[in-house]
Structure 1
Amino acid sequence: MSRYSIEDFVKQTQQQDKGEGLFELESPRILEINLTNQIWTKAGAMISYRGNIKFEREGILEHGLGKLFKKALTGEGTALMKATGNGKLYVADQGKKISILNLQGDSIFVNGNDLLAFEPSISWDIKLMRKVAGMLSGGLFNVRLEGSGMIAITSHYEPLTLLVTPDNPVFTDPNATVAWSGNLQPEFVTDISFKTFLGRGSGESVQMKFAGNGFVVVQPFEEVYYSEQS
């Protein structure tokens, strides 16, 4: 086989069955879902599938009026797609790196823009960050996921997890914050000197403070979100 031939390209890039179960990283940026029943994915994340799979956009009242009301305030950031059937489903989100987490009765907060897919066995709820909504482009919201099952989250480039302890809190840029443990409640602090030092817009002076016992996940990228209201 000659180097760089079409046959060589196909061999190097073709899909492989790894036998890892429901969620499989086909590449660091493509998630394969071995679907046998139902899964929730971020709307627009499907890039390919094979088999008998039906796609439905999240119903207006599917998750109750409370979540509908909160979703209306946050824009389309957490719009979900329900995939049902049997087959292989491939999802991705703008080339972002994918991390798979197997929740076992625990909980995690994920930035609404960084949630890629999760099993129906996982309970979830949208949490608005009202105090900071007016300070950042499009506001900021997150999803609390809890229970037992698989979830997939995304980050721009490689994520970094920082441990939080009572005597050593962690401060993060909200636009670079991907996820944090479900027992932590971030506090928003404004540092005027930090803003002056950077010489940037007002959003840069807002920081998230994590205190207690847990962890926070950040990415080496500042993601700016735009809601429908912006």
Structure 2
Amino acid sequence: MSSGARWTAAVLVVLVALGFAFWQELGDDADTSTSPTGSPVARDHRDADTPEALARPRASADLAPCPPAGPGAGPEVLRGISVECAADGSTVDVARAVDDRIVVLNLWAYWCGPCADELPAMAEYQRRMGSEVTVLTVHQDENETAALLRLAELGVHLPTLQDGRRLIAAALKVPNVMPATVVLRSDGSVAQILPRSFATADEIAEAVNPRMGVPG
């Protein structure tokens, strides 16, 4: 082999090694799981979102506790779904958490711009409605740390469910858009599904309250 050929082969070996190292680094940073077939597996939160790692973001977000279980079994379509309460990491039985109360479910993700615009309006709507209505947000991405940091940034302290697998949206047949709002009557039935964003608390009250029979 000539010296030129040997030099070319050496360069190729180095390039391949660098490419493999870069690929490994990307794999480590991605923090994702795959199934035996190689397809991504949906998870409620990332491996990096350990209780220890979430402690400081949780303290910054200072979220309201998730609703306690109601007296009944809750809506049938939500039975068997358990997710994490973002406030403290406890497990929430979703059907029982929404049982016997009027609930406004707000589905969002930390990377969604319209969601960030809407969340403060949801918080103001909750403040106005008081105990008549429970606004419960549902974070639909596995990056729980980012969700907590976004809520802290916005100053929104609404109770939040961490649902990276989007089980709640699937059970309620919510269109695959964000933000989206689902209104549940106190008997657990779906009053309406609103795959749209709201800019103000007034807009939310105008769209939601007439279907629930509560004053605006």
Whichever of the two has the greater Rg, that structure is 2
- Higher RCO structure, 1 or 2 (CA under 8 Å, sep 6+): 2
**TM-score, with length taken from structure 1:** 0.31
**TM-score, with length taken from structure 2:** 0.32
Greater fraction of residues in helix: 2
